[in-house]
Amino acid sequence: MNAVKSDVEKSREEKIRTIGRHYGYDAQSRQCIEEMAELTQAINKYWRTELQCGKNLYNPWDGYMPDDSEEYYNLVEEIADVQIMLEQMKFFLAAGHDVNCIINEKLDRQIERINNEHD
């Protein structure tokens, strides 16, 4: 990964730190829980309305792409909210490096599982 970060990334990181310092861990950890619950609801609502409870299988590789529905945009917004909160949690715990290492390990392990399915 490129060690030099763009101005957008730098300003985003600084915004995360500023917001985290302002509200503190207690408030933001609770906000993170709330945002994750809202994401869960948005995923479920998108599944119920846009995918008709699984009748319309979501498979962008076969031509199905989300439309411009309110449920789609709500889901995207909730994903962004949760990502912001998770970035704050990493900031509070000084865990960015550790989280990235664990993500890489988990991704590698899952790819290995997928590859073993084909053996």
111, part of any domain: no
Mean pLDDT to the nearest integer, 4-9: 67
100, part of any domain: no
pTM of this structure: 0.82
Task: Give the tens place of pLDDT for each residue, 57-81.
Answer: 676 666 666 678 899 899 999 999 9
Where residue 89 falls among pLDDT bands split at 50, 70, 90? very high
Q: How many domains does the chain have?
A: 1
The per-residue pLDDT for 84 is 98
Residue partners of 38: CB distance under 8 A and separation at least 6: 78, 81
Domain that holds residue 43: 7-94
The per-residue pLDDT for 51 is 77
Give the residue among 109, 87, 110, 111 at the shortest CA–CA distance from 99: 87
CA angle 85, 86, 91 (to 5 degrees): 95
Where residue 7 falls among pLDDT bands split at 50, 70, 90? low
Give the residue among 25, 23, 22, 16 at the shortest CA–CA distance from 92: 25
Rg of the chain over all Cα atoms, to the nearest angstrom: 18
